[in-house]
């Protein structure tokens, strides 16, 4: 009898342990599933510095249909951002201030679903109370700020313009290089440079005209400035974001910040 009772007790213990094991396994599966779902709701976007303001409104509009999306922006020069992606940075969408950097990623199979989402203008700005009207008017000791041509599209556009119009040699000793257009704007605002080349849109933070600098002229380039974006991962939210950029709602927001469609 004792043996019979012992065997029954042993079987009961085994059943209890098996149930606990299955419960733990189920909990782990549910946990993994939850972690996977959480990860799918994250969206990492690398964006050109000139998109710093407009991207915040784009995010608000996008989250109306994707309330659980957690969006993180990384701003910088388009060339530098491209290099980060090439080196394996965890990025889902790349919003460039040109087409070259996105196309380079596309050629390497690192970008897809690409789209030319906006256009911009390059402008020459000066200190608010300055009477300088051209880069030709810069005197010894005065500076012209531009973005690094290798990593900042605006810097490349500015350099090309100066060279095409025979102005580069006259100002090359006065150039101050910046990591992005926002730094160029800051240099002129603070008086660290008397002139600078930025995008038209940089003069309208929060949709209002910047009163700390003076717009001198709009630069006439040989080719229009086209902004291109592309998905750089298989994240579903990345494809949703690219689809959103093509919407009338997104285009309206871009226009409010002086971007052209």
Instruction: Please list the pLDDT of the chain residue by residue as tens digits (261 residues).
Output: 445 454 454 444 444 444 544 444 444 444 444 344 444 589 999 999 999 999 999 999 999 999 999 999 999 999 999 999 999 999 999 999 999 999 999 999 999 999 999 999 999 999 999 999 999 999 999 999 999 999 999 999 999 999 999 999 999 999 999 999 999 999 999 999 999 999 999 999 888 899 999 999 999 999 999 999 999 999 999 999 999 999 999 999 999 999 998
Q: Are residues 130 and 211 in the same domain?
A: yes
Q: Are residues 64 and 113 in the same domain?
A: yes
Q: Are residues 152 and 89 in the same domain?
A: no
Q: Are residues 197 and 130 in the same domain?
A: yes
208 lies in which domain range? 122-218
**Angle at Cα 171 formed by Cα 219 and Cα 178, nearest 5°?**
70
Q: Which residues contact 136 (CB under 8 A, 6 or more apart)?
A: 167, 170
Q: Are residues 153 and 241 in the same domain?
A: no
Residue ranges of the annotated binding site for molybdate are: 50, 78, 154, 181, 199
Q: Are residues 84 and 145 in the same domain?
A: no
For residue 261, tell me if it sits in a domain: no
Q: Are residues 110 and 153 in the same domain?
A: no
**Cβ distance 114 to 228 under 8 Å?**
yes
For residue 188, tell me if it sits in a domain: yes
φ, ψ of residue 27 in degrees (nearest 5): -60, -40
Predicted local confidence at residue 37, as pLDDT: 44
Query: What separation, in Å, do the N-terminal and C-terminal C-alpha atoms of the chain show?
Result: 88
For residue 29, tell me if it sits in a domain: yes
Residue ranges of the annotated binding site are: 50, 78, 154, 181, 199
**Angle at Cα 105 formed by Cα 104 and Cα 111, nearest 5°?**
140
User: What is the biggest distance separating any 2 CA atoms in the chain, rounded to whole angstroms?
Assistant: 110
Predicted local confidence at residue 3, as pLDDT: 52
Rg (CA), the chain: 27
**What's the predicted TM-score (pTM) here?**
0.79
For residue 223, tell me if it sits in a domain: no
Q: Are residues 83 and 142 in the same domain?
A: no
For residue 246, tell me if it sits in a domain: yes
Residues β-bridged to residue 120: 225
Residue 92 to residue 105: CA distance in whole angstroms = 13
Report how far apart, in Å, the C-alpha atoms of 163 and of each of 120, 156, 225 are: 20, 11, 17
Q: Are residues 210 and 130 in the same domain?
A: yes
For residue 52, tell me if it sits in a domain: yes
Q: Are residues 205 and 149 in the same domain?
A: yes
Residue 82 to residue 99: CA distance in whole angstroms = 11
The sign of the torsion formed by the CA atoms of 149, 211, 52, 120 equals negative
For residue 93, tell me if it sits in a domain: yes
Q: What is the CATH number of the domain that holds 96?
A: 3.40.190.10
For residue 67, tell me if it sits in a domain: yes
Range 168-191 burial, b when 16+ CB lie within 10 A, else e: beebeebbbbbbbbbbbbbbbbee
Q: Are residues 209 and 145 in the same domain?
A: yes
Q: Are residues 138 and 213 in the same domain?
A: yes
Number of domains in the chain: 3
């Amino acid at each position: 009898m004792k043996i019979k009772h012992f065997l029954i007790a042993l079987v009961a213990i085994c059943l209890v342990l098996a149930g606990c094991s299955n419960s733990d396994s189920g909990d782990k599966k549910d946990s993994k599933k939850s972690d996977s779902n959480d990860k799918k709701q994250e969206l990492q976007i690398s964006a050109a510095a000139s998109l710093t303001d407009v991207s915040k409104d784009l995010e608000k509009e996008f989250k109306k249909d994707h309330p659980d999306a957690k969006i993180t922006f990384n701003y910088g020069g388009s060339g530098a951002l491209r290099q980060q992606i090439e080196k394996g940075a965890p990025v889902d969408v790349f919003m460039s201030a040109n087409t070259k950097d996105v196309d380079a990623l596309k050629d390497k199979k690192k970008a897809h679903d690409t789209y030319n989402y906006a256009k911009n203008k390059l402008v020459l700005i000066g200190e608010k109370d300055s009477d300088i009207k051209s880069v030709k008017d810069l005197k010894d000791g005065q500076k012209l700020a531009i973005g690094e041509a290798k990593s900042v599209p605006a810097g490349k556009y500015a350099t090309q313009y100066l060279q095409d119009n025979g102005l580069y040699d006259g100002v090359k000793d006065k150039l101050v290089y910046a990591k992005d257009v926002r730094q160029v704007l800051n240099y002129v605002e603070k008086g660290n440079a008397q002139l600078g080349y930025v995008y038209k849109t940089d003069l309208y933070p929060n949709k209002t005209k910047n009163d700390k600098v003076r717009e001198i002229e709009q630069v006439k380039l040989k080719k229009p400035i086209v902004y291109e974006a592309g998905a750089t991962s298989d994240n579903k939210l990345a494809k949703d974001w690219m689809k959103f950029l093509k919407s009338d709602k997104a285009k309206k927001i871009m226009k409010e910040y002086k971007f052209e469609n």
